[in-house]
Structure 1
Amino acid sequence: MYTKQELKNMIKEMGIESTDTLFIHSSMKAIGEVVGGADTVLDSFMEYLENGLLILPTHTWANMSESHNVYDPKKEPSCVGVLTNLFMKREGVVRSLHPTHSVAAYGKDNIEYIKGEEEITTPCGIGGCYDRLRERNAKILLLGVNHSRNTFIHCVEEILQVPERFTEKPVLFKIVMPDGSIKESMVYRHYNRTTAHISETYTKLEQAFYDNNVAKKVKFGDATCILCDANGIFEVTKKVLSHQINCLIELEEIPREWWI
């Protein structure tokens, strides 16, 4: 069974600094047995990044719909794992107001980081929390998962205006604001007519990221992980998509010469 100190040592071995901004997509099951379980995993990251910013997704896209359209950040559970649900309830952690793609943040400037998400009208809009990962030279840790869970690539596609990514019409959501008032927000949802899950195509970029040294394989507990540089992921994805803007959907494989 892994102890908290052993996990913190593994974080250091990845090359993560205590002052970094780190975004984590996670699978608790992949980590293996930990003394103290999921809480110890969170403790290890929160303590290690004492001078940085730790961010986890607290998405609700699987819960929210036209019939269930009231988003209360204090009550609505996350649909992306046990660590995210525990994290957002911890002291000092704040949760953003995006009705389908919220994040929770702990550490330096966390309140400032999540500001304005109630104004974003797409899942990972320009100027929102995912776009801000570039501004902070953030690292993205895919902990026991692959790039099909790398939501930042959705943001890259939005910035590059990749077509056929959203519903034809937005959905009306009602956001419970900090003062208890309700803010109505019209938000487009992810949709593509040929694939049910757009993000499943993102694994086609994995080798491109490795070849350009913007991602590397690391370990955390038993989990095989991928540590990414957000700005590097953006630039490599931009380079690949410059050859054919919708190639991740339209092509079975991406030609290697597109990223070399």
Structure 2
Amino acid sequence: MNNAIFYLLKKTLPKSLKARLKAMQKKKREKQIASYKESGQVISGAMLEEQLTALGIKRGDSLLVHSSLSRIGYVENGPATVLTALSNVLGEEGTLLLPVYPFTSDVKSYVAGNPVFDATHTPSGMGKITEVFRKQEGVFRSLHPTHSVAAKGPLAEYYTGGHAGQLTPFNKQSPFFRLSANKGKILLLGVSLDSLTNFHTLEDALDFPYPVYEEQAYELQMIDVDGTRSITKTRVHNPEMSVKRRCNDFFDLFTREEVLVPGMVGIKECYLLDAEKLHDCMVRNFLEKGITMYTPNGK
């Protein structure tokens, strides 16, 4: 199911049903983990490093990772093992980036609650791996109230430094666009193209014909790493457009144009994308055929 549709459906459920759904999901994950343990399908750090290298990740790469820990199998020692494996493959010359967005539902619902984004203390809503990474020593976090990114490595400040004060989260000052401009890579670790945030760089790079953003700009409070408070404006995606996204329809196109390479990580087929080729492919197909994730078959 499209993530945006799932979030909108979940939003309409009464609290009692939300609690039941959450409990069912937790029980399903626990049962799956128990099954992995019993069958001996325990994934080690060494196994992950071998698979990540085979997929095409190299020392010195800049790598943005969208992840789901439970979907790649039972990993020994959990998030810490995944992060260590990624760091070892990238080496000291590489820079690791993870999304640490503070919301767990749709963005509009999140900002409607007038949250205060604290760069040091606001947790990530993007899963266990991202939250463990956020707390690691030497990690920088971009100062954006809805789409902050955490980064560690020699280019961490470069990727995160321009995000503050941007009216839209994915423009040329964002970590997402800078990744494409710097020949970075994107790893979809246990997740589909629905999780590929870099789709949105197309919307901010060109005169986009669809109302993907709401007209209103929200004023949100932020606290930086020094404890300084400020107010920033940001626009959020229009939920009516978000439900029209058909991200996974791009799989064949991205494969043909060598934007995407599949490979096993853990027990799951995962995908490595070239961020520069991704952006160029989206721009070219939009300009020539009108193809976007809202209109995957063109105009």
- Tell me the TM-score normalised to structure 1 length: 0.90
The more displaced of 153-162 and 240-249 is: 240-249
**Partner in structure 1 of residue 115 of structure 2:** 69
**Higher helix share goes to which structure?**
2
Which runs of structure 2 are paired with 1:92-171 in the superposition (5 Å)? Answer: 92-162=138-208, 163-171=210-218
**2:65–2:186: 8 Å Cα contact kept in structure 1?**
yes
- What's the offset of the Cα at 1:157? 2.1
Residue deviations 1:200-243 (CA, integer Å, cap 9, x gap): 42222211110111111111111211110011111111122114
> Is the CA contact 2:159–2:179 (under 8 Å) kept in the aligned structure 1?
no
* d(CA) in 2 for partners of 1:221, 1:160: 38
- Give the Cα–Cα distance (whole angstroms) in 1 for the partners of residues 196 and 242 of structure 2: 16
**Contact 2:120 2:224 (8 Å CA) reproduced:** no
Q: Distance in 2 between the 1:172 and 1:74 partners?
A: 20
Distance 1:34 1:69 in 2: 34
Paired with 1:197 and 1:90, the residues of 2 have a C-alpha distance of 35
Q: Per-residue CA shift, 1:137-161, capped at 9, x if unaligned?
A: 0011111111111000111221123
Provide Cα deviations, 1:170-229, integer angstroms capped at 9, x if missing partner: 111111022211111110001153x4445x422222111101111111111112111100
SS across alignment from 2:269: strand
RMSD in angstroms over aligned alpha carbons? 1.9
Kindly, what percent of the aligned residue pairs are identical? 28
Runs of 4+ with >6 A deviation: none
Match of 2:286 in 1: 241
Instruction: Choose 1 or 2 for highest CA Rg.
Output: 2
Q: 2:277 aligns with which of 232, 236, 239?
A: 232
The residue type paired with residue 58 of structure 1 is: V
Question: How many pairs does the alignment contain?
Answer: 252
Which letter maps to 1:59? Y
Change (3 A) 1:247 1:153: closer
CA distances 1:108-152 after superposition (whole Å, capped 9, x unpaired): 121232113112111212221111012220011111111111000
Alignment of 1:1-260 (within 5 A): 1-50=42-91, 51-62=93-104, 64-162=110-208, 163-193=210-240, 195-197=241-243, 200-243=245-288, 245=290, 247-249=292-294, 251=295, 254=297
The gaps in structure 2 that reach 5 residues or longer are: 1-41
Unaligned runs of 5+ in 1: none
Would you say the 8 A contact 1:123–1:190 is kept in 2? no
Q: Is the 8 A contact 1:95 1:103 kept in 2?
A: yes
